[in-house]
Every structure is written in structure tokens, then in C-alpha cells.
Amino acid sequence: MNSDALRDVIEDVKHLLDGDWSRREIEKREAQQQQPASPVSREEALEETARTVSSCRRCGLAETRTMAVPGYGVLDPLVMVIGEAPGSEEDRQGLPFVGAAGQYLDKWLAAIGLERGGNVFIGNIIKCRPPQNRDPFPQEQQACLPFLKDQISIVRPKVLLCVGRISAQILLAKTDGIGRLRGSVYEFQGVPLVPTYHPSGVLRNPEYRRPVWEDLKQVRSLLDE
């Protein structure tokens, strides 16, 4: 045994013999383990998620995006609106639903007493724009969904409003079209979920206005329960 190894052994034996030292050391370590992790506020957790989204490179959409769009809104919102993915204007500004569909969405919200930035959180399943607004690939959905799940846990909405086929299908793990999915209340992460048509679909198809109004009234009645 060389002299270094011998010195280590002597140190170990001294520590074992020195009951006081080892007891104090064990108590110190136990106390450290029992310390709660430094408390992070929900605001900080939400900001941290947004920072992670903004620098995310988990899928190929990172190559083509201008800006990632983490989402926008308040903690404890009455409603969390979940769209599909950013379009061209959202990609440019880094904010959700800021184009024509977003302006129409604001009117829907106002019709049931809700307001962007006041009592709503608005986000998307996919945080980066798919080229030519194509449907997101399964690998992109899988890469991005954990961000939305985290956001739901952090902001704690009362009701989830899925707008459009893609967000409803992904959160409900179903393949039916939105015409079949809407009209029922589901649950995701313990939060009631109401699916409806996408505002840009309704702008193109005015006959969807009536069912959307039924769905919005459903949201309102869940909030009033």
C-alpha cells in the first residue's frame, strides 16, 4: 500500500472512531436532504417553460421558425384556449392568435365575458410554425406536447377550450373529426375540456357559427357551476 492510500485508510478509521464527527456529519446530510427544493413561483415556472420553448430544438420546426410561440396569458385563467400551431403572423411576432383568426377568437371570448390577458391563457399544441401551415407530424406533436402539459399544470385553468381538429384529436387521443368530437365535455389532466371548431374554419364556413355558440355557452355554464 502506498503512503497516499495508507493516509486515506487512517482518515477513514479516525472518522469511524470519532463517533461525534460522524454523527454530526450524518445529521447535517440528513437535514440537507430534508430541505424542500428552493421554492419556484408559478410565474417563474411559466417563464422558465417559455424560455425553454423559445430555445427548443427538439424537432425540425426549429430550423424553419422565425420565433417560437410559447403562449400568452394569466395564471389561474378561467379558460385556456388551445389552438393548433402558430401561423405566419404568430411566427413573426412570437405571440399566439394575433392574425385574423385571433381577432375573431377575441370576439368569441368577449361573448362569454372573457378577455385575452384578463382571465384567459392562449396557447397552442405546437409552439413553432409548420411550413405552409401543414399538419404537425407525430414526432413534432410528441416533442412539443410536454410543454403544453407543463403549462396546464402551472397555470391551472378552470376549463380547456380546444379550437380545431388537431388540438382536440391530440389531447383526446382520438381520430374523429371535430364535427364528431364537439358537443361533449371531456377531461384532460383533471380539467374539463370543450372542443369546438377553429376560428379560421368558422370564418370560411359561417354554418359553424351556431355550433360554436353552443360550445361557448357550454364553457360559460362550466364556469358558472
- Beta carbon of residue 88, minimum distance to ligand URA (angstroms, whole number): 9
124/151 with CB nearer ligand URA: 124
- Beta carbon of residue 100, minimum distance to ligand URA (angstroms, whole number): 9
- Beta carbon of residue 95, minimum distance to ligand URA (angstroms, whole number): 8
13/117 with CB nearer ligand URA: 117
Query: Using H for helix, E for strand and C for coil, what is the string for the chain?
Result: CCHHHHHHHHHHHHHHHCHHHHHHHHHHHHHHHHCCCCCCCHHHHHHHHHHHHHCCCCCCHHHHCCCCCCCEECCCCCEEEEECCCCHHHHHHCCCCCCHHHHHHHHHHHHCCCCECCCEEEEECCCCCCHHHCCCCHHHHHHHHHHHHHHHHHHCCCEEEEECHHHHHHHHCCCCCHHHHCCCCEEECCEEEEEECCHHHHHHCHHHHHHHHHHHHHHHHHHHC
90/215 with CB nearer ligand URA: 90
Residues in contact with ligand URA by CB under 6 A are: 83-87, 90, 96-97, 101, 124, 164
- Beta carbon of residue 89, minimum distance to ligand URA (angstroms, whole number): 8
- Beta carbon of residue 122, minimum distance to ligand URA (angstroms, whole number): 7
44/53 with CB nearer ligand URA: 53
18/177 with CB nearer ligand URA: 177
Closest-approach residue to ligand URA (CB) = 83
Closest CA to 121 of 165, 88, 91, 151: 151
- Beta carbon of residue 90, minimum distance to ligand URA (angstroms, whole number): 4
10/100 with CB nearer ligand URA: 100
